[in-house]
């Protein structure tokens, strides 16, 4: 199991648990990720090295994000702007999430 959380537990935590079944339908949950502490290009290289692959889910060629899939085929997006470009903005429960 992998837990994704702020070090001070001030935000909700997300647990990612491996299951024995393979993916058979569209994901019920989709993650949009941002680079944190590195450039988006560096984060893309890191994700590809870890086994992610680029996928086409019908997105236009000029979108600002990259659609990827993990080794099991679960899609997620790497958004173009890293966390550091968003820091001046206050994030709250009422903020509309970005999606790809």
Q: Is 54 within the bounds of a domain?
A: yes
Q: Could you list the residue range(s) of the whole structural domain that residue 53 is in?
A: 23-100
Q: Is 7 within the bounds of a domain?
A: no
Q: Is the pTM of this model over 0.85?
A: no
3-state helix, strand, coil in the chain (%, to 5): 15, 20, 70
d(CA 16, CA 71): 14
Task: Indicate the number of domains in the chain.
Answer: 1
Question: Which residues are CB-neighbours of 97 under 8 A, at least 6 positions away?
Answer: 32
pLDDT tens digit string along 37-88?
888 999 999 999 999 999 988 888 888 889 999 988 889 999 988 877 876 6
**CA dist list (Å): 42 to 35, 37, 39, 48, 73:** 8, 10, 5, 10, 22
């Amino acid at each position: 199991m992998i837990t994704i959380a702020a070090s001070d537990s001030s935000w909700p935590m997300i647990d990612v648990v491996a299951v024995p079944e393979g993916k058979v339908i569209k994901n019920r949950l989709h993650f949009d990720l941002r680079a944190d502490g590195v450039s988006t290009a560096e984060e893309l290289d890191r994700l590809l090295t870890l086994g992610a692959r680029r996928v086409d889910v019908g997105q236009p060629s000029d979108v600002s994000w990259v659609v990827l899939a993990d080794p099991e085929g679960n899609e997620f997006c790497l958004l173009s702007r890293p966390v550091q470009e968003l820091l001046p903005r206050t994030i709250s429960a009422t903020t509309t999430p970005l999606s790809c």
